[in-house]
């Protein structure tokens, strides 16, 4: 799991990234589609709104790292939301790769291998919980709702 040193590394580096959060999130998606163009079809044409949401979620993660377990239900639900979009477990590693690349670039001279490793551990932890959540039975969306394309955004109640 995450050490106190990881948490310090992530919190400090986030302060640099958050400065230009929206632009960095857009760069993240550009990088993602560069390394995994097959994922583009899952996303809407206009990425601005989504970039904002991802920035918000990362912010939530960083500010709750000390109490990581508290995020578990939110992340599990977020995992089910992704599952219902058709996202595969094997897709997560591309997102992790593209995020690490974006963080490294945004931090520029302040980046170090150690900071990168801390982020990697955190993103693997987050993805693991999302994937675990996606395997659990979803109680909040019934068969018909899913059949007719209802999207489960129940995880929002935790945010
Ligand atoms: C660390 C892992 C990830 C995190 C933290 C994350 C976070 C998020 C968040 C916060 C949203 C917005 C949910 C909402 O609309 O309320 C979202 C939407 C989405 N994510 Fe992820 N995500 C992750 C991994 C992935 C992966 C691996 C894919 C693979 C393709 C993916 C594809 C999408 C798509 C397609 C949407 C919805 C786009 C739309 O609104 O139409 N995500 N994600």
Question: pLDDT tier at 34 (50, 70, 90 boundaries)?
Answer: very high
Residue among 10, 5, 144, 133 at smallest CA distance from 71: 133
Q: How far is the CA of 82 from the centre of ligand 1 (A)?
A: 6
Residue among 106, 91, 82 at smallest CA distance from 35: 91
The pTM of this model reads 0.87
Domain 4-158, CATH: 1.10.490.10
Alpha-carbon radius of gyration of the chain:
16
Q: How far is the CA of 67 from the centre of ligand 1 (A)?
A: 22
Rounded CA separation 120/125 (Å): 8
- Domain locations along the chain: 4-158
Residues touching ligand 1 (Cβ under 6 Å) are 39, 42-44, 50, 53-54, 57, 82, 85, 87, 91-92, 95, 123, 126-127, 130, 153
Cβ count within 10 A of residue 80 = 23
Mean pLDDT of 46-68: 83
How does pLDDT run across 72-122, given as a tens digit for each residue? 888 898 899 899 889 999 999 999 999 999 999 999 999 999 999 999 999
């Amino acid at each position: 799991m995450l050490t106190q040193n990881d948490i310090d590394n992530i919190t400090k580096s986030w302060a640099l990234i958050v400065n230009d959060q929206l632009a960095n999130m857009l760069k993240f998606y550009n990088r993602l589609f560069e390394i995994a163009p097959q994922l583009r079809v899952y996303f809407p044409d206009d990425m601005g709104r989504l970039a904002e949401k991802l920035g918000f979620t990362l912010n939530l993660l960083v500010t709750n790292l000390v109490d990581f377990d508290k995020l578990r239900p939110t992340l599990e639900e977020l995992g089910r939301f992704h599952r219902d979009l058709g996202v595969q477990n094997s897709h997560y590693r591309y997102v992790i790769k593209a995020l690490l690349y974006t963080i490294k670039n945004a931090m520029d001279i302040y980046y170090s291998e150690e900071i990168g490793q801390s982020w990697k551990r955190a993103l693997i932890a987050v993805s693991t919980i999302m994937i675990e959540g996606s395997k659990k039975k979803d109680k909040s969306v019934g068969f018909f709702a899913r059949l007719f394309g209802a999207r489960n955004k129940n995880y929002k109640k935790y945010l």
